[in-house]
Amino acid sequence: MLDQIRNRLTYANVMATLAVFIALADSSYALSLPRNSVGRAKIKRNAVGASETRRNAVRSSEVKANALKGVDINESSLAPVPSAATAANAQKLGGLTADHLKVRCPSGTRANAGACMEEKLRPAETFHEAATRCDVAGRRLPTLAELDVFYLDPEVQPAAGGELTSNVFESRSMANRLDVTLIADDAGTASFQAAVGNPKPFRCVAYPRN
C-alpha cells in the first residue's frame, strides 16, 4: 500500500496538499480572531462603505458610550428636535411668551407694598359685610400698613372720614366688642371705630397674577 503511494507521489501533489492545509489553517485563524482585535486604526479609511454594511446592522446598544463624535455624524440627516422645531416656539414655555409669564396686578388695581390695591373705593358697609364681599371676590381687606403706604401716592385720594382695614382689636371700652382701625385723614392718622353697625367705605386687596 505504501509502495503504491510512494510511486504516485510527485512534487506537484505534495505542493498542492500543502497549499490546501495552509488555506484551511488561514481560514481557521481568521474565524477565531480575539474580540475587539480589529479597531479603527487597523481599518483603512473608507474601506467599509454603505454597500458593506447592512441597514440597522449596528444598534445603539452596540456602540460604546461617547465613541461617536460630531465628525462621525451627518447632522443634516437628523430630524429637528420637536420642542425647537420653530424659532418662535423655542422662546416659549407651554406656548406662553416671557411677557405672558410676568406677574402683574389685575385691572382696576394698583401695585402697592407687594399687593394690588383697588383704586376705587367701594360703598360703605360694616366690617363683616365688607370682609365677606372681598372674600367672595377672592380678595381681602387691606392692612393698616398697606393703606398707609398707598396714601403716600399723590394720585390716591384718601377716603373722607376713613376707610375699613383688616386690623381688628378687642374693644377698649366695651367687653365682647371688636374695634376696627381706620385711616381717618390725609396724614394717615389711625382711629378706632366699632366693627359692628358702623358702615364705612372700603377697598379690597388682590394678589398679583400672570
Q: Give the integer Cα–Cα distance in Å for 182 and 174.
A: 18
Q: How many CA atoms lie within 13 A of 46 on its CB side?
A: 0
* Tens digits of residue pLDDT in 161-176: 889 999 888 776 666 6
- Number of neighbours of residue 58 by Cβ within 10 angstroms: 10
> What architecture is domain 109-206?
Roll (3.10)
Q: Give the integer Cα–Cα distance in Å for 63 and 114.
A: 56
Q: How far apart are the first and last CA of the chain?
A: 106
Q: Give the integer Cα–Cα distance in Å for 204 and 140.
A: 5
Chain-centroid distance of CA 157 in Å reads 43
Most confident of 16-25, 166-175, 184-193, 198-207: 198-207
Cβ-based neighbours of 102, under 8 Å, separated by 6 or more? 210
pTM: 0.51
Asked whether the beta carbons of 205 and 118 are under 8 A apart, the reply is: yes
**Mean pLDDT over each residue of the chain, to the nearest integer:** 74
Burial (CB count within 10 angstroms: exposed 0-12, middle 13-18, buried 19+), residue 164: buried
* Tens digits of residue pLDDT in 137-162: 999 999 988 988 898 888 888 888 88
Asked whether the beta carbons of 167 and 102 are under 8 A apart, the reply is: no
All structural domains of the chain with their residue ranges: 109-206
Q: Give the integer Cα–Cα distance in Å for 120 and 134.
A: 13
**β-bridge partners, 115:** 112
Q: What is the DSSP string of 51-89?
A: GGS-TT-S-GGGSPTT-S-GGGS-GGGSPPPGGGSSHHH
Helix (H) or strand (E) holding 122: strand 122-125
pLDDT reported for residue 190 = 78
